């Protein structure tokens, strides 16, 4: 499978069925950290759950609706980044991501989002890339802010996470603004 080298430590690769166990183990090991802002974590209880998710990711890719990649740090899976949705009519790619706590603070996600944004504009012909993050999720919000995405607004009570509604900040980057 094709792997895109971001730098000497970071690579991106399309998610494969064989990744399910590693992704599950990473999720399980970092469950407390991840569940703060990710609603799917509590429903992911077994490798089978992750295998089903990966099957859905692969199906979305085959149907040109999404694209999910594993983030490799020094060869080990450190997280996931995706175009959660590819809107071909309006030419918008929606990026989502998560990174295990052990790998944060190394620039891994900022570099990965930069590569995905480049790809959305140069290879997919998109006009816009959107990223949303929980208002309280400073680490996730810092990524589009470092890349000069524009904060476009706040969607109130956008997501149900851990028995509460969470507001989301929406960030956007237009092709003509991307450097």
- Tell me the pLDDT tens digit for each residue of 22-77: 999 999 999 999 999 999 999 999 999 999 999 999 999 999 999 999 999 999 99
Report which DSSP code applies to 149. P
Question: Is the confidence at residue 1, as pLDDT, over 60?
Answer: no
Cβ atoms of 87 and 68 closer than 8 Å? no
Indicate the number of domains in the chain. 1
Token couple for 89: 């009519």
pLDDT single digits (tens) 89-102: 999 999 999 999 99
Q: Does a structural domain hold residue 50?
A: yes
Q: Does a structural domain hold residue 142?
A: no
pLDDT at position 44 is 95
- pTM (two decimals): 0.95
What average pLDDT does the structure give for the chain? 96
Comparing CA positions, the residue from 16, 144, 118 lying closest to residue 72 is: 16
Q: Where in the sequence is the domain holding 7, given as residue range(s)? A: 3-127
Q: Does a structural domain hold residue 133?
A: no
Q: Does a structural domain hold residue 122?
A: yes
Q: Which helix (H) or strand (E) holds 130?
A: strand 128-134
Q: How many CB atoms lie within 10 A of CB 73?
A: 19
Distance separating alpha carbons of residues 145 and 159, to the nearest angstrom: 21
Question: Is the confidence at residue 165, as pLDDT, over 60?
Answer: yes
Give backbone dihedrals phi and psi of 7, rounded to 5 degrees, phi first. Answer: -155, -165
pLDDT at position 179 is 84
Q: Between β-strands 128-134 and 92-99, what pairing exists: parallel, antiparallel or unpaired?
A: parallel
Domain of 22: which CATH number? Answer: 3.40.630.30
From the number of C-beta atoms within 10 Å of its C-beta (0-12, 13-18, 19+), residue 85 rates as middle
Percentage of residues in the chain having pLDDT higher than 90: 97
Cβ atoms of 174 and 167 closer than 8 Å? no
């Amino acid at each position: 499978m094709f792997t895109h080298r971001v730098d000497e430590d970071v690579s991106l690769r399309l998610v494969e069925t064989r990744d399910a166990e590693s992704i599950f183990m990473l999720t399980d090991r970092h469950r407390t950290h991840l569940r703060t802002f990710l609603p799917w974590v509590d429903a992911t209880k077994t490798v089978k759950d992750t295998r089903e998710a990966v099957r859905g990711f692969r199906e979305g890719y085959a149907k040109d609706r999404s694209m999910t990649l594993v983030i490799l740090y020094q060869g080990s899976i450190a997280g996931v980044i995706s175009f959660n949705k590819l809107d071909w009519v309006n030419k918008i790619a929606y990026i989502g991501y998560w990174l295990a706590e052990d790998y944060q603070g190394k620039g891994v996600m900022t570099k990965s989002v930069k590569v995905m944004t480049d790809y959305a504009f140069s290879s997919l012909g998109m006009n816009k890339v959107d990223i949303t993050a929980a208002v309280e999720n400073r680490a996730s919000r810092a990524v589009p802010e470092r890349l000069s995405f524009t904060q476009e607004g706040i969607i109130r009570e956008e997501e149900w996470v851990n028995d509460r509604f969470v507001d989301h900040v929406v960030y956007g980057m237009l092709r003509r603004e991307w450097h």
